[in-house]
Amino acid sequence: MTEIPLKTPTVHSVVYVGEDCLSLRLPMLTEGQKNFVLTDTNVYALHKAFFDKYFKNDELFVLPAGEENKNFQSLYEILSAMTSAGLLRNSRLFAVGGGVIGDIGGLSASLYMRGISCVQIPTTLLAQVDSSVGGKTAVDLGGVKNIVGAFYQPCEVLVDPSFLKTLPVREIKCGMGEIVKYALLNGKIFDELERNTDKLADLSFLQTLIVSCIQHKANVVQADEKETGERKSLNVGHTTGHAIELAYNLSHGESVLYGAYLETQTAIELGVCDKDYGVRLLRILKTAITVAPYEKQDFSTIANYLIKAKADKKNTQKDKIVMAVAKRKNEWTALELPFEKYAEYIQNATKKL
């Protein structure tokens, strides 16, 4: 088991990674009080034996799977169930699932009795390398993703890669997209991916990068928990990626891959990203995009959808778009462009795909 400490002004927490982390940590975390376990229908159906083994005396809430359930109604139902279960201040909430369960579970824990302990147990690759770590919690509202939420650090994150054995290939590709995101920020991960671009669909290879991704994220979150500076780097590819995710039938990770490709291409054209390094990044991104399941996308009308980038939380001025882009190995920068120019560069970049 690998231990990655994560210290912020509010919490000293630890991320444990390894197939033994559940058996080593869960008995002591569940002992002595009634806890609340949140999961979704898919995870519960596939991993019932896990819930029966560790949570037989606890209150279980199984949310229907899917992003469409990361909303206020579900939050209300979870908080109602927590209240009916008579949880106490020393009760813990265990969020067992992908990013949807982690986000709404973390927010529920932050609100109940003004905050009870939350343990994140991520079961998708995306959640293991990214969303379970760092304390961003949220629900969607009015068609806007993650618009209502809180920074609320889990007390522990337990990352057991054996959950990933049941993950559909589309979800593996989705998590791979977030791993490739780290290659734009971290030279060690960049080198690993460049050396192994033929293994981007290989779960056993991707699993070897889980600890490096978490360690990178933990360092960033420790330096800037509330995203006033350095943490904005974790949004590389996301400005355009979110717009693509809303407009095309693509997963979050795939959309981030397209976003990272188009934004890197733009940064190279504008001389913001070192050309040699940028071209090597584009090569990794292009291979990642075409990993199965892959369908060629028609981006000829993308400019109509890029308007959605105006709602990005990184923007500070009306009609200006801020993107986090790679500058050179181990270095990123914030690139701000007037909306019209941004849309023109991104549209042109799609022609290179």
| Residue 192 annotated as catalytic | no
* Contact string (CB under 6 A) for ligand GLY, positions 155-194, x = contact: ----------------------------------------
Which residues make Cβ contacts (< 8 Å) with residue 349, sequence separation at least 6?
A: 261, 262, 263, 265, 266, 269
- Sign (positive or negative) of CA dihedral 118, 33, 65, 78: negative
Member of 231, 252, 308, 329 binding ligand GLY (CB under 6 A): 231
Based on CB atoms, which residue is closest to ligand NAD, 46 or 81? Answer: 46
CA-to-CA separations, 255 to 66, 83, 241, 245, 294, in angstroms, rounded: 17, 38, 5, 5, 12
> Comparing C-alpha atoms, which of 33, 32, 37 is closest to residue 53?
37
CB nearest ligand NAD: which residue? 99
Q: Which of 18, 102, 105, 134 binds ligand GLY (CB under 6 A)?
A: 134
Say if residues 326 and 267 touch (Cβ distance below 8 Å): yes
Q: Which of 171, 178, 225, 263 is catalytic?
A: 178
Q: Give CA–CA dist 118/195, Å, rounded.
A: 37
The entry of ligand GLY, ligand NAD, none near residue 231 (CB within 5 to 8 angstroms by kind) is: ligand GLY
How far, CA to CA in Å, does 167 sit from each of 42, 123, 175, 252? 10, 8, 10, 15
Check binding of 136 to ligand GLY (CB under 6 A): yes
Place of tokens 């500070």: 316
Could you say which of 8, 35, 110, 124 contacts ligand NAD (CB under 6 A)?
Answer: 124
What's the rounded Cα separation, in Å, for the pair 220 and 75? Answer: 29
Active-site residue, from 156, 171, 192, 227 = 227
Least spacing, CB of residue 224 vs ligand GLY, in Å? 9
The number of CA neighbours under 13 Å toward the Cβ of 53 is: 9
Asked if 126 touches ligand GLY (CB under 6 A), the answer is no
Report the nearest approach of ligand NAD to the CB of residue 31 (Å). Answer: 25
Its sign, for the CA torsion 66, 71, 77, 80, is positive
Give the CA distances from residue 95 to residues 30, 36, 44, 119, 232, in Å, rounded to whole numbers and listed in that order: 13, 9, 12, 6, 25
Task: Pull the structure tokens for residue 268.
Answer: 């190279």
User: Cβ closer to ligand GLY: 35 or 253?
Assistant: 253
103 binds ligand NAD (CB under 6 A): yes
351 token code pair: 């022609």
Instruction: Clarify whether 136 is annotated catalytic.
Output: yes
Among 37, 65, 284, 326, binds ligand NAD (CB under 6 A): 65
* Sole binder of ligand NAD in the list 99, 105, 154, 237 (CB under 6 A): 99
Minimum CB distance to ligand NAD smaller for 35 or for 131: 131
The residue nearest ligand GLY at its CB is 234
Print the binding letters for residues 172-211 with ligand NAD: x by CB under 6 A, - otherwise: --x-------------------------------------
Compose the 137-156 pattern: x for residues touching ligand NAD by CB under 6 A, - for all others: --------xx----------
Q: What angle do CA 272, 276, 282 make, to 5 degrees?
A: 80
Q: Is 242 a catalytic residue?
A: yes
What residue spans of 115-237 are helical by DSSP H?
Answer: 125-126, 169-183, 187-195, 203-207, 210-223
- Binding region for ligand NAD (CB under 6 A): 40, 42-43, 46, 65, 67, 70, 97-101, 103, 123-124, 126-127, 130-131, 134, 136, 145-146, 163, 166-167, 171, 174, 252
- Binding region for ligand GLY (CB under 6 A): 130, 134, 136, 231, 234
Residues known to be catalytic: 114, 136, 178, 217, 227, 231, 235, 238, 242, 252
